[in-house]
Chain A
Amino acid sequence: MTDLAPPPTRLQLFLAFTRVGLFGFGGAAALARQVVVEEKRWLSERDYAEMLAAGQVLPGPNVGNTSVMLGRRFHGFTGALAASSGFYAVPLVLLTGLLLVYGSVADDPRVDSFMHGIAAAAAGMVVGTAVKMGQKLRPPPEMVVIGLLATAAAAWLRLPLPLIVLLLAPFAVGAALRRQKARG
């Protein structure tokens, strides 16, 4: 595990999450991981995974929630505000611009092809990041099984997310407690 960098300033938080919000394309959690863990080294792989996990089970966008938690950790309320407004502000401005020209861009077939290509790459980016995180965290076998059950329940059975969390969390937390005890 590499050493962490010094804590970010509010401006750095804002700018990092601006990038994540703007270029997430459905895979903001993947991009946020690269920025926060690999590039800036503000959090360890495990810390990021735990923050993202909390952000995932809470209502709202997972990375939006993570931005609040991460910002709070470094700078309290103003930090949370800086990180989360980075995530939303520039996209909101762009969306406003798009609404003003309402639809004239979306009709261009080239834009359509470009966006389809990006969407396909974003899908791969999300899959690749999930595999990478799973690998780097080196989870015990029972946690791998629980994770894959969550994947199957969401991707194939299409169960609602709160139900999946309610069904699997008792087993996952129980398994984590058992590992803790075993380690003493």
Chain B
Amino acid sequence: MGGVLLSLLLTFGTLSLLAVGGANAVVPEMHRQIVEIHGWLDSATFAQVYALAQAAPGPNILVAAALGWVIAGPAGMGAAFLGIVAPAWGLAWWVAGVTERLAAKPWLKAVRAGLVPIAIGLILASGLIMAQAAAAQLVGLAVAVVAALLVWRTELNLLWVLAAGGVAGLAFL
């Protein structure tokens, strides 16, 4: 049991530092590790747990915690969660410290300013990719377009926008 926990911790710990762009970037590697290398789950169970975690509210990265749970119970969930979160957490903490210490350096200001348009561009891309999936039905496309306009043009609370989308889905999808 302890062996599995350590193994989970190390497996997800490695994935944590590879997850640039979030959990979705490492799902294929997660599958390879869990199904093919360690044989902890079969492919169908992996897909089920993945779908369940996607449907649950919260950050995508929690799929690791769900897999840990199915593989080794609550302790497995703890190990997988710690593994997927802690290394990236530590890195963010360290970078924040360096950034604060060197805040006055012109090159660092340029790096920070330069990364902003790239990050916003990438976030726009993630929205477009999500919208493409939603646009499989015409109603989904309409909801996405109206939501984008509302969010862009008004200061409306985003939770209302999401709730309205859900209700539109109930009514028309």
Contacts and interface: CB of A to CB of B under 8 A. Distances in A.
Interface in A69-124: 69, 72-73, 77, 80, 84, 87-88, 90-92, 94-96, 98-99, 102-103, 105-106, 110, 113-124
A9 B81 CA distance: 26
B43 interface: no
A34 interface: yes
A124 B143 contact: yes
A120 B57 contact: no
Category for how many chain B residues contact A: 35 or more
Interface string B135-173: 101011101111111111001011101111111111011
B40 interface: no
A131 B148 CA distance: 9
A124 B92 contact: no
B66 A95 contact: yes
Interface in A116-148: 116-134, 137, 139, 143-144, 146-148
A99 B165 contact: no
A130 B152 CA distance: 8
A155 interface: yes
B123 to A, nearest CB: 5
Interface of B: 16-23, 25, 48, 51-53, 55-62, 65-66, 69-70, 77, 81, 85, 87-89, 91-93, 95-97, 99-100, 106-107, 109-131, 133-135, 137, 139-141, 143-152, 155, 157-159, 161-170, 172-173
9 contacts: A22-B57, A34-B158, A49-B116, A56-B115, A72-B93, A84-B85, A95-B65, A124-B127, A164-B122
